[in-house]
Amino acid sequence: QLLNIVSCLAARGKRILVLGRKHMVVPSKKWLKDDIRRLQAYADCFFLDNISLDDPFLLYACLSSGSHCCFITSDLLRDHKACLPNREIQQLFFKWQRGHQLVLPFYSGKGDVHLRPILTYDTILQNTQLSWHIPYDEVGVKRATYEVPKTWLCLRKST
């Protein structure tokens, strides 16, 4: 699955860094030697020790690559957010995460990769002198912590 996703992104002209574990380069049923070679042809690869934590490497690579850089991981990074010193910085981290983490909502392992697009607007209460736009979840709607409400209540001041 990783090879298919990376090859689809490479075909779109994306520059890719794959962070993996050293056990991936040891041939096994899950990681075939030829597949790892092909993966390395599509992407820059960095293999960490099997016991190391990869999230700090992921965050460092993304932050040091510039504001255009995006990342894909199924990790919600909640433990990193929880370590931040206060709620304001946690909210800034969450906002940065929403603007840079691509989500693969479903992938069958075959065909093209469809990533959920990153929103170009902030889903917070917004208002002008004449209107209010309030994001909300409808009753019963469940979403992951990295997702934002998709429904807006739009109110206009009558004149």
pLDDT tens profile 22-65: 999 998 888 889 999 999 999 999 999 988 788 889 999 999 99
Residue 108 pLDDT greater than 80, yes or no:
no
Buried/exposed code over 62-84 (b: 16+ C-beta within 10 A; e: otherwise): beeeeeeeebbbeeebeebbeee
Buried/exposed code over 9-19 (b: 16+ C-beta within 10 A; e: otherwise): beeeeeebebb
Task: Report the pLDDT value the prediction gives residue 146, as an integer from 0 to 100.
Answer: 66
Residue 148 pLDDT greater than 80, yes or no:
no
Annotated domain spans of the chain? 2-113, 119-159
Which residues does residue 155 pair with via DSSP β-bridges, in sequence order?
132
Which residues does residue 101 pair with via DSSP β-bridges, in sequence order?
71
Q: Does domain 2-113 have CATH number 1.10.390.10?
A: no
Which residues does residue 21 pair with via DSSP β-bridges, in sequence order?
48
Task: Report the pLDDT value the prediction gives residue 125, as an integer from 0 to 100.
Answer: 85
